[in-house]
Amino acid sequence: MKGVIAIIRPNKMNKTKEVLAELGFPAMTACKVMGRGKQKGIVGEVSFEVDPKLLEEQENAMKYVPKRMIMLVVNDNDVPLVTEVIMRVNRTGEHGDGKIFVCPIEDSIRVRTGEKGEEALN
């Protein structure tokens, strides 16, 4: 099992979620995050309230940039498909398109039933 963590633009969240669900990956965790990379700012893409202190300009750039983080746990053989889909949906060619991290997952346990491993993912 692998954990796929993607940091993407807020305006790409719905399309990413829709495409992953169509391909059989409807389960994910998503949250609003703030971060900083090479991108200079995307105030026009933000559809939620952000603390004004976080948006203070610093050399013509935002202090922190609003993003979305999605997390999925998938079978090892599904990683190439999931990462390719996330890249295709989110690539604009500009700074700020995001990052994808793939991490090993030692175990998965479904709280309701106690199922473990890959059984807990289905």
Indicate the pLDDT class of residue 26, thresholds 50, 70 and 90. Answer: very high
Structural domain harbouring 18: 2-38+62-120
Indicate the pLDDT class of residue 54, thresholds 50, 70 and 90. Answer: low
pLDDT digits (tens, 9 = 90+) for 55-104: 555 555 566 788 999 999 999 999 999 999 999 999 999 888 999 999 99
In a domain, 105, yes or no: yes
| CATH assignment at residue 108 | 3.30.70.120
Q: 79-90 and 13-22 helices cross at what angle (nearest 10)?
A: 150
Q: How many domains does the chain have?
A: 1
Q: Is the pTM of this model over 0.75?
A: yes
In a domain, 46, yes or no: no
Contacts of 96 (CB under 8 A, 6+ apart): 9, 37, 38, 39, 42, 65
In a domain, 48, yes or no: no
In a domain, 44, yes or no: no
Give, as one character, the DSSP assignment of residue 36.
Answer: -
In a domain, 28, yes or no: yes
In a domain, 56, yes or no: no
